Amino acid sequence: NAGVTQTPKFQVLKTGQSMTLQCAQDMNHNSMYWYRQDPGMGLRLIYYSASEGTTDKGEVPNGYNVSRLNKREFSLRLESAAPSQTSVYFCASSEAGQGGHTDTQYFGPGTRLTVL
């Protein structure tokens, strides 16, 4: 099992450009998440999908959109990139979704995005 995979690993954009970050999991998990990690800020939730066909906003959704393409795949789109979106983006998945308090999230390798 590959676990959670993300593409691309690195990306440099100019202000105003758009791009989509891809995430896939092969663990048959119901829930998927997108986080960003900035120095001194910890991981902050952008969007999540508790199950196939549903998406919800997290702490910092502005400037992003998501698509849960199927049970395996969850993409994050930046429509008009800004320097403030320079960050490391992690996708994660979990089995039970929002219902189980011991539900554990497993992370992908991350995408390092720089917006100039």
Among 19, 43, 51, 52, binds other proteins (CB under 8 A): 43
Rounded to a whole number of angstroms, the minimum distance from the CB of residue 47 to other proteins is: 13
Rounded to a whole number of angstroms, the minimum distance from the CB of residue 53 to other proteins is: 19
Task: Using the Cα atoms of residue 93, residue 95, residue 98 and residue 102 in order, give the sign of their dihedral.
Answer: negative
- Binding region for other proteins (CB under 8 A) out of 22-30, 43-51, 62-70, 72-80: 43-51
Work out whether 101 is an interface residue with other proteins (CB under 8 A): yes
Work out whether 72 is an interface residue with other proteins (CB under 8 A): no
Question: How far apart, in whole angstroms, are the C-alpha atoms of residue 27 and residue 108?
Answer: 12
Q: What is the dihedral of CA 78, 47, 94, 22, to 10 degrees?
A: -10
Among 2, 10, 40, 62, binds other proteins (CB under 8 A): 40
Residue 81's contacts (CB-CB under 8 Å, 6 or more residues apart) are: 13, 14, 15, 16, 17, 18, 19, 113, 115
Binding stretches for other proteins (CB under 8 A):
35, 40-45, 58, 90, 98-99, 101-110
